[in-house]
Amino acid sequence: MDTKILVTYATKHGATEEIANKIGEIIRQAGLPTDVYPVKNVKNLVTYNAVILGSAVYIGSWRKEAVQFLKANQQALAARAVWLFSSGPTGEGEPIELLKGWRFPPAQRSLVESIHPRNIAVFHGNLDEKKLNAVEKWLTKNVKAQTGDFRDWNAVTAWAISIADALQKSM
C-alpha cells in the first residue's frame, strides 16, 4: 500500500508553518511521501492515508480556518490516522502547563474526540513583536504574553520521528 501523508496547518505569522515544514521534512527523511500545505489549500483528503494538522493558538483558540477544516473533513479524518498539534504558548515552562492543562481548545474538544487522533502535541510558539499589529501588541501586553521564539525544535523533531515510526510499522 502506498502511504501518502499530509501535513497541514493554519498560521498567522508563519511560526506554525515552520513547525509543519519541519515535521514534513522529518517524515520525508523516513522515506514516506509527504505533502505540506496550509489548510486553505487542501481541497480533499482522498489521496492521503494519514493527516497531521496543526494550528497556531491565539487567546486560547485555534485559528478559524483550522477549525473549519476539522468540521468540513470530520468524517474523512475519522477514517484516517490523524495527529494534531498546537503551537503558541510562549515563555518558560511546559507548554501544556502554560495553556492551563489543555491539549486542545475546549470549544473543539468534542469534534476532536470524534476524530480519535493518535496523538495531540502542544509546542511552544514564536511571538515576534515586529510582526504584530497595534491590537495584537496591546493584547500581548495585557495578557502578559512573552515575546520571542520559544519553539523547541528537538521536541518537534522527536514527535515527527514518532509519527514516521508509527506509519512505517502500519505499512
Q: Chain-wide mean pLDDT for the chain?
A: 88
Helix (H) or strand (E) holding 110: helix 109-115
Q: CA of 109: how far to CAs of 39, 43, 102, 120, in Å?
A: 19, 24, 10, 12
Q: 121-161 pLDDT, tens per residue?
A: 999 888 777 777 777 767 666 666 777 788 999 999 999 99
Contacts of 61 (CB under 8 A, 6+ apart): 67, 105, 107
Q: What is the CATH number of the domain that holds 135?
A: 3.40.50.360
Global pTM value: 0.88
Total domains present in the chain: 1
| Containing structural domain, residue 47 | 5-169
Cα(122)–Cα(87) distance, integer angstroms: 6
Look at residue 142 in the predicted model and tell me its pLDDT.
66
Give the three-state DSSP class for 137. Answer: helix
pLDDT greater at residue 99 or residue 7: 7
Helix (H) or strand (E) holding 113: helix 109-115
With a cut of 90, say whether residue 51 has pLDDT above it.
yes
In the structure, what pLDDT confidence band is assigned to residue 120 with cuts at 50, 70 and 90? very high
Cα(48)–Cα(34) distance, integer angstroms: 9
In the structure, what pLDDT confidence band is assigned to residue 1 with cuts at 50, 70 and 90? very low
- 23-27-51-122 Cα dihedral, nearest 10 degrees: -30
